[in-house]
Structure 1
Amino acid sequence: MIEVLDNVFWHALSGAQQHCASGTAEARRYAPGFSPIVAFPRAEDPDFDALQPFCAPGERFYVADWSGPAPAGWAIELEAKMVCMAWAGETPADDAAPDALPLDASHAPQALALAELTRPGPFGLRTIELGDYFGLFEGERLVAMAGERSCAGRFREISGVCTHPDFQGRGMAKRLMQKLIRRQCLRGETPFLHVMSANAGALALYRRMGFADYREKVVRVVSRVSA
Protein backbone atom coordinates (compact mmCIF):
# COMPACT_ATOMS: atom_id res chain seq x y z
CA MET A 1 0.00 0.00 0.00
CA ILE A 2 2.91 2.38 0.62
CA GLU A 3 3.56 2.32 -3.13
CA VAL A 4 0.73 4.87 -3.34
CA LEU A 5 3.37 7.40 -2.29
CA ASP A 6 5.27 6.78 -5.53
CA ASN A 7 2.63 8.82 -7.39
CA VAL A 8 0.59 10.22 -4.54
CA PHE A 9 -0.62 13.38 -6.25
CA TRP A 10 -2.16 11.38 -9.09
CA HIS A 11 -3.89 9.06 -6.61
CA ALA A 12 -5.21 12.10 -4.73
CA LEU A 13 -6.35 14.05 -7.79
CA SER A 14 -8.06 11.04 -9.36
CA GLY A 15 -9.41 9.72 -6.07
CA ALA A 16 -10.40 11.34 -2.79
CA GLN A 17 -9.70 14.87 -4.02
CA GLN A 18 -11.06 14.67 -7.55
CA HIS A 19 -13.72 17.22 -6.56
CA CYS A 20 -10.84 19.72 -6.15
CA ALA A 21 -9.29 18.81 -9.51
CA SER A 22 -9.74 19.29 -13.22
CA GLY A 23 -8.38 17.28 -16.12
CA THR A 24 -8.80 13.89 -17.77
CA ALA A 25 -7.77 10.28 -17.29
CA GLU A 26 -4.37 11.24 -18.72
CA ALA A 27 -3.57 14.42 -16.78
CA ARG A 28 -4.99 16.22 -13.78
CA ARG A 29 -4.31 19.36 -11.76
CA TYR A 30 -5.65 20.91 -8.62
CA ALA A 31 -8.29 23.35 -9.79
CA PRO A 32 -7.35 27.06 -9.94
CA GLY A 33 -7.06 28.53 -6.48
CA PHE A 34 -5.82 25.33 -4.89
CA SER A 35 -2.17 24.26 -4.79
CA PRO A 36 -0.55 24.55 -8.27
CA ILE A 37 0.33 20.86 -8.65
CA VAL A 38 -0.17 18.61 -11.68
CA ALA A 39 0.08 14.85 -11.95
CA PHE A 40 -0.12 12.04 -14.48
CA PRO A 41 -0.95 8.32 -14.21
CA ARG A 42 2.53 7.52 -15.53
CA ALA A 43 4.64 10.13 -13.79
CA GLU A 44 7.73 9.33 -15.84
CA ASP A 45 5.80 9.78 -19.12
CA PRO A 46 3.56 12.84 -18.65
CA ASP A 47 0.97 13.78 -21.27
CA PHE A 48 1.23 17.56 -21.32
CA ASP A 49 -0.97 17.76 -24.39
CA ALA A 50 -3.83 16.34 -22.32
CA LEU A 51 -3.11 18.83 -19.54
CA GLN A 52 -2.82 21.95 -21.68
CA PRO A 53 -6.57 22.70 -22.13
CA PHE A 54 -6.89 23.01 -18.34
CA CYS A 55 -4.04 25.51 -17.93
CA ALA A 56 -3.83 29.18 -18.77
CA PRO A 57 -0.77 30.65 -20.52
CA GLY A 58 1.76 31.77 -17.92
CA GLU A 59 0.50 29.46 -15.16
CA ARG A 60 3.24 27.74 -13.14
CA PHE A 61 2.95 24.24 -11.71
CA TYR A 62 4.90 21.74 -9.65
CA VAL A 63 5.31 18.26 -11.14
CA ALA A 64 7.15 15.31 -9.60
CA ASP A 65 9.09 12.31 -10.93
CA TRP A 66 9.61 13.48 -14.49
CA SER A 67 12.85 14.25 -16.29
CA GLY A 68 13.49 14.98 -19.93
CA PRO A 69 13.17 17.93 -22.29
CA ALA A 70 10.29 20.37 -22.05
CA PRO A 71 7.44 19.47 -24.41
CA ALA A 72 6.15 21.97 -26.92
CA GLY A 73 4.21 24.76 -25.27
CA TRP A 74 5.90 24.36 -21.89
CA ALA A 75 9.03 25.67 -20.15
CA ILE A 76 11.00 24.18 -17.26
CA GLU A 77 11.74 26.96 -14.77
CA LEU A 78 13.29 24.99 -11.91
CA GLU A 79 14.46 21.47 -11.10
CA ALA A 80 15.34 20.16 -7.64
CA LYS A 81 15.00 17.04 -5.51
CA MET A 82 12.74 16.37 -2.56
CA VAL A 83 12.38 13.53 -0.09
CA CYS A 84 9.06 11.86 0.61
CA MET A 85 8.88 10.85 4.28
CA ALA A 86 6.28 8.67 6.01
CA TRP A 87 5.44 8.50 9.70
CA ALA A 88 7.11 5.61 11.53
CA GLY A 89 6.73 6.79 15.13
CA GLU A 90 4.18 6.27 17.86
CA THR A 91 0.96 8.24 18.16
CA PRO A 92 1.71 11.40 20.18
CA ALA A 93 0.16 11.05 23.63
CA ASP A 94 -1.09 14.62 23.93
CA ASP A 95 -2.22 17.54 21.80
CA ALA A 96 0.92 19.65 21.50
CA ALA A 97 -0.99 22.74 20.34
CA PRO A 98 -4.30 23.03 22.18
CA ASP A 99 -4.10 26.79 21.66
CA ALA A 100 -4.14 26.45 17.85
CA LEU A 101 -7.24 27.55 16.00
CA PRO A 102 -8.74 25.83 12.95
CA LEU A 103 -8.37 27.93 9.81
CA ASP A 104 -11.36 28.59 7.54
CA ALA A 105 -12.13 30.70 4.49
CA SER A 106 -11.95 33.89 6.54
CA HIS A 107 -8.28 33.14 7.26
CA ALA A 108 -7.36 32.33 3.65
CA PRO A 109 -5.83 35.73 2.79
CA GLN A 110 -3.61 35.64 5.90
CA ALA A 111 -2.62 32.02 5.19
CA LEU A 112 -1.68 32.86 1.61
CA ALA A 113 0.30 35.92 2.71
CA LEU A 114 2.23 33.86 5.27
CA ALA A 115 2.95 31.16 2.66
CA GLU A 116 4.13 33.74 0.13
CA LEU A 117 6.45 35.22 2.76
CA THR A 118 7.93 31.92 3.99
CA ARG A 119 7.57 29.73 0.86
CA PRO A 120 6.75 26.33 2.41
CA GLY A 121 5.82 24.96 -1.02
CA PRO A 122 3.03 25.30 -3.60
CA PHE A 123 0.13 27.13 -1.98
CA GLY A 124 -3.01 28.86 -3.20
CA LEU A 125 -5.83 30.90 -1.73
CA ARG A 126 -8.01 27.78 -1.41
CA THR A 127 -5.31 25.36 -0.22
CA ILE A 128 -6.67 25.36 3.33
CA GLU A 129 -9.85 23.75 1.95
CA LEU A 130 -7.91 20.56 1.12
CA GLY A 131 -7.83 19.37 4.74
CA ASP A 132 -7.58 20.50 8.33
CA TYR A 133 -5.41 23.57 8.80
CA PHE A 134 -4.48 25.03 12.16
CA GLY A 135 -2.84 28.31 13.04
CA LEU A 136 -1.27 30.09 15.97
CA PHE A 137 -2.12 33.76 16.38
CA GLU A 138 -0.65 36.83 18.01
CA GLY A 139 -3.82 38.79 18.59
CA GLU A 140 -5.59 38.55 15.24
CA ARG A 141 -2.34 38.03 13.31
CA LEU A 142 -1.61 34.55 11.94
CA VAL A 143 2.02 33.79 12.81
CA ALA A 144 2.34 30.03 12.24
CA MET A 145 0.34 27.35 10.48
CA ALA A 146 0.35 23.75 9.30
CA GLY A 147 -2.24 21.61 7.60
CA GLU A 148 -3.16 18.79 5.27
CA ARG A 149 -2.83 18.83 1.50
CA SER A 150 -3.08 15.61 -0.52
CA CYS A 151 -4.68 12.38 0.63
CA ALA A 152 -4.64 8.96 -0.99
CA GLY A 153 -5.72 5.74 0.65
CA ARG A 154 -4.62 5.80 4.26
CA PHE A 155 -1.93 8.41 3.61
CA ARG A 156 -2.50 12.06 4.60
CA GLU A 157 0.03 14.73 3.76
CA ILE A 158 1.22 17.35 6.22
CA SER A 159 2.00 20.54 4.35
CA GLY A 160 2.01 24.32 4.49
CA VAL A 161 4.19 24.23 7.60
CA CYS A 162 5.56 27.71 8.23
CA THR A 163 6.22 30.39 10.82
CA HIS A 164 6.55 34.13 10.36
CA PRO A 165 10.25 35.14 10.62
CA ASP A 166 9.49 37.32 13.67
CA PHE A 167 8.26 34.26 15.58
CA GLN A 168 10.68 31.53 14.50
CA GLY A 169 12.67 29.57 17.06
CA ARG A 170 9.75 29.03 19.44
CA GLY A 171 8.75 25.57 18.26
CA MET A 172 5.40 26.71 16.89
CA ALA A 173 5.52 24.78 13.61
CA LYS A 174 6.67 21.60 15.36
CA ARG A 175 3.77 21.80 17.82
CA LEU A 176 1.30 22.25 14.97
CA MET A 177 2.77 19.26 13.14
CA GLN A 178 2.53 17.12 16.27
CA LYS A 179 -1.10 18.13 16.62
CA LEU A 180 -1.82 17.03 13.07
CA ILE A 181 0.15 13.79 13.44
CA ARG A 182 -1.85 12.86 16.53
CA ARG A 183 -5.17 13.60 14.83
CA GLN A 184 -4.23 11.58 11.75
CA CYS A 185 -2.94 8.61 13.72
CA LEU A 186 -6.11 8.52 15.82
CA ARG A 187 -8.11 8.42 12.57
CA GLY A 188 -6.08 5.41 11.40
CA GLU A 189 -4.18 7.44 8.79
CA THR A 190 -0.44 7.52 8.08
CA PRO A 191 1.07 11.01 7.99
CA PHE A 192 3.58 11.80 5.28
CA LEU A 193 5.30 14.89 3.95
CA HIS A 194 7.72 16.22 1.36
CA VAL A 195 10.85 18.18 2.16
CA MET A 196 13.51 19.53 -0.17
CA SER A 197 16.61 17.34 -0.21
CA ALA A 198 18.85 20.37 0.31
CA ASN A 199 17.07 21.30 3.56
CA ALA A 200 19.28 19.27 5.87
CA GLY A 201 17.94 20.93 9.01
CA ALA A 202 14.33 20.05 8.25
CA LEU A 203 15.24 16.50 7.25
CA ALA A 204 17.04 15.97 10.56
CA LEU A 205 14.15 17.46 12.53
CA TYR A 206 11.53 15.30 10.85
CA ARG A 207 13.61 12.16 11.38
CA ARG A 208 13.91 13.01 15.08
CA MET A 209 10.16 13.53 15.26
CA GLY A 210 9.47 10.03 13.90
CA PHE A 211 9.36 10.31 10.11
CA ALA A 212 11.36 7.91 7.97
CA ASP A 213 12.64 8.50 4.45
CA TYR A 214 10.55 6.73 1.81
CA ARG A 215 12.35 7.88 -1.32
CA GLU A 216 13.81 10.86 -3.10
CA LYS A 217 11.94 12.40 -6.03
CA VAL A 218 12.75 14.90 -8.75
CA VAL A 219 10.45 17.92 -8.65
CA ARG A 220 10.16 20.57 -11.36
CA VAL A 221 8.40 23.87 -11.75
CA VAL A 222 6.96 24.16 -15.25
CA SER A 223 4.98 26.90 -16.93
CA ARG A 224 2.58 27.00 -19.85
CA VAL A 225 4.20 29.18 -22.49
CA SER A 226 2.10 32.08 -23.67
CA ALA A 227 0.90 31.87 -27.25
Structure 2
Amino acid sequence: MREEEKLDNPVWFSLTETHHNFALTYGDIKFYHPDYCPFGGFISQKDISDGTDQYANETADFYIVGEKPVLTEGLRLNKELICNQMVLTDKIQTEITEEIVQLNTDKKADLIELVNLVQPGYFKEKTPLLGNYYGIYKNNKLVAVTGERMKMNAYSEISAVVTHPDFTGKGYAKQLIAFTANHIFSEGKVPYLHVAETNIGAIKLYEKLGFETRRKISFWNLVKI
Protein backbone atom coordinates (compact mmCIF):
# COMPACT_ATOMS: atom_id res chain seq x y z
CA MET A 1 0.00 0.00 0.00
CA ARG A 2 1.27 3.48 -0.87
CA GLU A 3 1.48 5.90 2.05
CA GLU A 4 -1.06 8.24 0.43
CA GLU A 5 -3.67 5.46 0.33
CA LYS A 6 -3.64 5.35 4.12
CA LEU A 7 -5.37 8.74 4.08
CA ASP A 8 -8.51 6.90 2.93
CA ASN A 9 -8.65 5.37 6.41
CA PRO A 10 -6.93 7.94 8.63
CA VAL A 11 -8.17 6.76 12.02
CA TRP A 12 -7.22 3.13 11.49
CA PHE A 13 -3.72 3.93 10.26
CA SER A 14 -3.08 6.62 12.89
CA LEU A 15 -4.00 4.12 15.61
CA THR A 16 -1.90 1.43 13.93
CA GLU A 17 1.14 3.68 13.54
CA THR A 18 2.11 6.84 15.49
CA HIS A 19 -0.91 6.89 17.79
CA HIS A 20 -1.06 3.17 18.58
CA ASN A 21 -0.84 3.90 22.33
CA PHE A 22 -4.21 5.70 22.19
CA ALA A 23 -6.06 2.80 20.53
CA LEU A 24 -8.93 0.68 21.77
CA THR A 25 -8.99 -2.29 19.40
CA TYR A 26 -11.98 -4.55 18.88
CA GLY A 27 -11.34 -7.01 16.06
CA ASP A 28 -11.30 -5.16 12.75
CA ILE A 29 -12.16 -1.75 14.23
CA LYS A 30 -10.02 0.64 16.23
CA PHE A 31 -11.09 3.68 18.25
CA TYR A 32 -9.28 6.46 19.97
CA HIS A 33 -9.85 6.26 23.70
CA PRO A 34 -12.81 8.66 24.19
CA ASP A 35 -10.85 10.84 26.61
CA TYR A 36 -8.71 11.86 23.61
CA CYS A 37 -10.93 11.80 20.51
CA PRO A 38 -14.28 10.04 19.82
CA PHE A 39 -13.21 8.67 16.41
CA GLY A 40 -13.04 5.15 15.01
CA GLY A 41 -12.03 3.43 11.79
CA PHE A 42 -12.25 -0.12 10.49
CA ILE A 43 -10.31 -2.27 8.07
CA SER A 44 -13.20 -4.68 7.36
CA GLN A 45 -16.94 -4.64 7.99
CA LYS A 46 -17.09 -8.31 8.98
CA ASP A 47 -15.93 -7.94 12.58
CA ILE A 48 -17.02 -4.53 13.83
CA SER A 49 -20.51 -4.97 15.37
CA ASP A 50 -19.32 -6.11 18.77
CA GLY A 51 -16.65 -3.42 18.72
CA THR A 52 -19.01 -0.55 18.03
CA ASP A 53 -21.36 -1.77 20.77
CA GLN A 54 -18.49 -2.05 23.26
CA TYR A 55 -17.20 1.41 22.38
CA ALA A 56 -20.73 2.80 22.81
CA ASN A 57 -20.43 1.72 26.44
CA GLU A 58 -17.37 3.96 26.72
CA THR A 59 -19.00 6.97 25.04
CA ALA A 60 -22.56 7.18 23.73
CA ASP A 61 -21.77 9.67 20.94
CA PHE A 62 -18.91 9.07 18.50
CA TYR A 63 -17.77 9.11 14.87
CA ILE A 64 -16.55 6.48 12.44
CA VAL A 65 -14.44 7.93 9.63
CA GLY A 66 -14.43 6.53 6.10
CA GLU A 67 -16.84 3.94 4.76
CA LYS A 68 -20.37 3.80 6.17
CA PRO A 69 -20.45 1.29 9.04
CA VAL A 70 -23.07 -1.42 9.49
CA LEU A 71 -25.26 -0.42 12.43
CA THR A 72 -26.29 -2.70 15.26
CA GLU A 73 -29.63 -2.60 17.06
CA GLY A 74 -28.08 -0.59 19.86
CA LEU A 75 -26.90 2.30 17.66
CA ARG A 76 -28.48 4.83 15.32
CA LEU A 77 -26.94 7.09 12.71
CA ASN A 78 -27.33 10.67 13.89
CA LYS A 79 -25.74 12.43 10.90
CA GLU A 80 -23.20 12.15 8.13
CA LEU A 81 -20.64 14.95 8.08
CA ILE A 82 -19.05 15.09 4.63
CA CYS A 83 -15.63 16.71 4.59
CA ASN A 84 -13.02 17.72 2.06
CA GLN A 85 -9.78 15.96 2.86
CA MET A 86 -7.09 18.45 1.87
CA VAL A 87 -3.33 17.87 1.58
CA LEU A 88 -0.42 20.32 1.46
CA THR A 89 2.63 19.49 -0.63
CA ASP A 90 4.93 22.48 -0.01
CA LYS A 91 5.81 24.72 2.91
CA ILE A 92 3.68 27.85 3.30
CA GLN A 93 5.56 31.03 2.53
CA THR A 94 3.94 33.71 4.68
CA GLU A 95 5.21 36.23 7.20
CA ILE A 96 4.64 35.38 10.87
CA THR A 97 4.07 38.71 12.61
CA GLU A 98 2.32 37.47 15.75
CA GLU A 99 3.89 35.80 18.77
CA ILE A 100 2.88 32.13 18.62
CA VAL A 101 3.06 30.11 21.83
CA GLN A 102 2.70 26.39 22.57
CA LEU A 103 -0.42 25.52 24.55
CA ASN A 104 -0.01 21.90 25.60
CA THR A 105 1.06 22.37 29.22
CA ASP A 106 0.24 25.30 31.50
CA LYS A 107 -2.08 26.91 28.92
CA LYS A 108 -4.09 23.76 28.19
CA ALA A 109 -7.20 25.06 30.00
CA ASP A 110 -7.27 28.16 27.77
CA LEU A 111 -7.01 25.92 24.70
CA ILE A 112 -9.87 23.64 25.73
CA GLU A 113 -12.09 26.58 26.63
CA LEU A 114 -11.62 28.39 23.30
CA VAL A 115 -12.05 25.34 21.07
CA ASN A 116 -15.21 24.24 22.86
CA LEU A 117 -16.59 27.78 22.66
CA VAL A 118 -16.35 27.74 18.86
CA GLN A 119 -16.57 23.99 18.07
CA PRO A 120 -18.32 22.38 21.04
CA GLY A 121 -18.18 18.63 21.49
CA TYR A 122 -15.08 17.59 19.56
CA PHE A 123 -12.28 18.62 21.88
CA LYS A 124 -11.76 16.46 24.97
CA GLU A 125 -9.71 16.88 28.13
CA LYS A 126 -6.82 14.80 26.76
CA THR A 127 -7.01 15.85 23.10
CA PRO A 128 -3.99 18.17 23.57
CA LEU A 129 -1.85 15.07 24.20
CA LEU A 130 -2.31 13.93 20.58
CA GLY A 131 0.00 16.56 19.11
CA ASN A 132 1.33 20.11 19.30
CA TYR A 133 -1.13 22.97 19.78
CA TYR A 134 -0.28 26.60 19.22
CA GLY A 135 -2.04 29.88 19.94
CA ILE A 136 -2.03 33.65 19.80
CA TYR A 137 -2.82 35.78 22.85
CA LYS A 138 -4.06 39.36 22.94
CA ASN A 139 -4.16 41.19 26.28
CA ASN A 140 -3.63 37.88 28.10
CA LYS A 141 -6.61 36.32 26.31
CA LEU A 142 -6.24 33.34 23.98
CA VAL A 143 -7.87 34.43 20.71
CA ALA A 144 -6.79 31.87 18.09
CA VAL A 145 -5.45 28.30 18.04
CA THR A 146 -4.38 25.56 15.65
CA GLY A 147 -2.88 22.14 16.33
CA GLU A 148 -2.36 18.52 15.36
CA ARG A 149 -4.72 15.59 15.87
CA MET A 150 -4.43 12.28 13.97
CA LYS A 151 -0.85 11.20 13.22
CA MET A 152 0.51 8.49 10.94
CA ASN A 153 4.11 7.69 10.05
CA ALA A 154 3.99 9.93 6.97
CA TYR A 155 1.11 12.34 7.67
CA SER A 156 -0.07 14.62 10.49
CA GLU A 157 -3.54 16.13 10.57
CA ILE A 158 -3.99 19.84 11.23
CA SER A 159 -7.03 20.39 13.43
CA ALA A 160 -8.76 22.83 15.79
CA VAL A 161 -8.32 25.82 13.48
CA VAL A 162 -10.28 28.15 15.75
CA THR A 163 -10.48 31.92 16.20
CA HIS A 164 -12.55 33.66 18.87
CA PRO A 165 -15.57 35.32 17.19
CA ASP A 166 -14.44 38.75 18.39
CA PHE A 167 -11.02 38.40 16.68
CA THR A 168 -11.76 37.02 13.21
CA GLY A 169 -10.49 38.67 10.03
CA LYS A 170 -7.08 39.58 11.44
CA GLY A 171 -5.05 36.83 9.74
CA TYR A 172 -4.42 34.86 12.92
CA ALA A 173 -5.64 31.55 11.48
CA LYS A 174 -3.46 31.97 8.41
CA GLN A 175 -0.33 32.45 10.50
CA LEU A 176 -1.15 29.58 12.84
CA ILE A 177 -1.86 27.18 9.97
CA ALA A 178 1.42 28.14 8.31
CA PHE A 179 3.33 27.74 11.57
CA THR A 180 1.77 24.33 12.29
CA ALA A 181 2.10 23.02 8.73
CA ASN A 182 5.74 24.07 8.43
CA HIS A 183 6.53 22.39 11.76
CA ILE A 184 4.98 19.16 10.44
CA PHE A 185 7.16 19.39 7.32
CA SER A 186 10.20 19.90 9.57
CA GLU A 187 9.42 16.51 11.15
CA GLY A 188 9.51 14.87 7.73
CA LYS A 189 5.75 14.45 7.53
CA VAL A 190 3.04 15.87 5.26
CA PRO A 191 0.21 18.05 6.65
CA TYR A 192 -3.41 17.31 5.82
CA LEU A 193 -6.77 18.36 7.23
CA HIS A 194 -10.50 17.77 7.13
CA VAL A 195 -13.01 20.57 6.62
CA ALA A 196 -16.79 20.36 6.23
CA GLU A 197 -17.67 20.64 2.54
CA THR A 198 -20.15 23.40 3.43
CA ASN A 199 -17.46 25.57 5.08
CA ILE A 200 -16.64 27.47 1.90
CA GLY A 201 -14.77 30.28 3.65
CA ALA A 202 -12.34 27.90 5.32
CA ILE A 203 -11.85 25.90 2.13
CA LYS A 204 -10.95 29.07 0.24
CA LEU A 205 -8.40 30.01 2.93
CA TYR A 206 -6.81 26.57 2.79
CA GLU A 207 -6.65 26.71 -1.00
CA LYS A 208 -4.91 30.09 -0.85
CA LEU A 209 -2.33 28.53 1.46
CA GLY A 210 -1.69 25.72 -1.01
CA PHE A 211 -3.90 22.88 0.24
CA GLU A 212 -5.57 20.76 -2.44
CA THR A 213 -8.66 18.62 -2.00
CA ARG A 214 -7.70 14.98 -2.28
CA ARG A 215 -11.16 13.44 -1.80
CA LYS A 216 -14.45 13.66 0.06
CA ILE A 217 -14.57 11.64 3.27
CA SER A 218 -17.47 11.03 5.64
CA PHE A 219 -17.59 11.26 9.42
CA TRP A 220 -20.51 9.06 10.51
CA ASN A 221 -21.93 10.24 13.84
CA LEU A 222 -23.34 7.28 15.79
CA VAL A 223 -25.24 7.50 19.08
CA LYS A 224 -26.26 4.82 21.52
CA ILE A 225 -30.00 4.12 21.65
Judge same fold: TM > 0.5, yes or no.
Answer: yes
Q: Does 1:131 align with 2:131?
A: yes
3-state DSSP of counterpart to 1:96: coil
Normalising by structure 2, what TM-score? Answer: 0.89
On the 8 A contact 2:88/2:212 being kept in 1, the answer is: yes
CA offsets, 1:146-168, max 9 Å, x none? 00001112111100110110111
Taking the aligned partners of 1:159 and 1:199, their CA distance within structure 2 comes to 14
User: Compared with structure 1, are the counterparts of its residues 70 and 24 closer, same or farther at alpha carbon in structure 2 (3 Å cutoff)?
Assistant: closer
The unaligned stretches of length 5 or more in structure 1 are none
Equivalence for 1:211: 211
Residue 26 of structure 2, aligned match among 11, 24, 27: 24
Taking the aligned partners of 1:8 and 1:128, their CA distance within structure 2 comes to 18
3-state DSSP of counterpart to 1:106: coil
CA offsets, 1:88-141, max 9 Å, x none? 3x3235662661110124333322221222118822111111111101112332
Equivalence for 2:87: 86
Taking the aligned partners of 1:8 and 1:93, their CA distance within structure 2 comes to 27
Question: 1:46 Cα shift?
Answer: 7.0
The unaligned stretches of length 5 or more in structure 2 are none
User: Compared with structure 1, are the counterparts of its residues 95 and 156 closer, same or farther at alpha carbon in structure 2 (3 Å cutoff)?
Assistant: farther
Taking the aligned partners of 2:21 and 2:184, their CA distance within structure 1 comes to 21
Equivalence for 1:110: 110
Aligned residues: 223
Specify the code of the residue in structure 1 equivalent to 2:184.
Answer: Q
Equivalence for 2:167: 167
On the 8 A contact 2:94/2:175 being kept in 1, the answer is: no
Q: After TM superposition, what 4+ stretches of structure 1 lie above 6 angstroms from structure 2?
A: none
Residue 9 of structure 2, aligned match among 7, 19, 28: 7
User: Matched residues, percent identical?
Assistant: 27
User: Compared with structure 1, are the counterparts of its residues 185 and 97 closer, same or farther at alpha carbon in structure 2 (3 Å cutoff)?
Assistant: farther
On the 8 A contact 1:120/1:160 being kept in 2, the answer is: no
Between 1:22-31 and 1:127-136, the stretch displaced more is 22-31
Instruction: Quote the RMSD (CA, aligned, Å).
Output: 2.2
Counting only pairs closer than 5 Å after superposition, residues 117-156 of structure 1 correspond to structure 2 as 117-119=117-119, 122-156=122-156
Equivalence for 1:63: 64
User: Compared with structure 1, are the counterparts of its residues 223 and 98 closer, same or farther at alpha carbon in structure 2 (3 Å cutoff)?
Assistant: same
On the 8 A contact 2:115/2:162 being kept in 1, the answer is: yes
Between 1:153-162 and 1:134-143, the stretch displaced more is 134-143
Specify the code of the residue in structure 1 equivalent to 2:24.
Answer: S
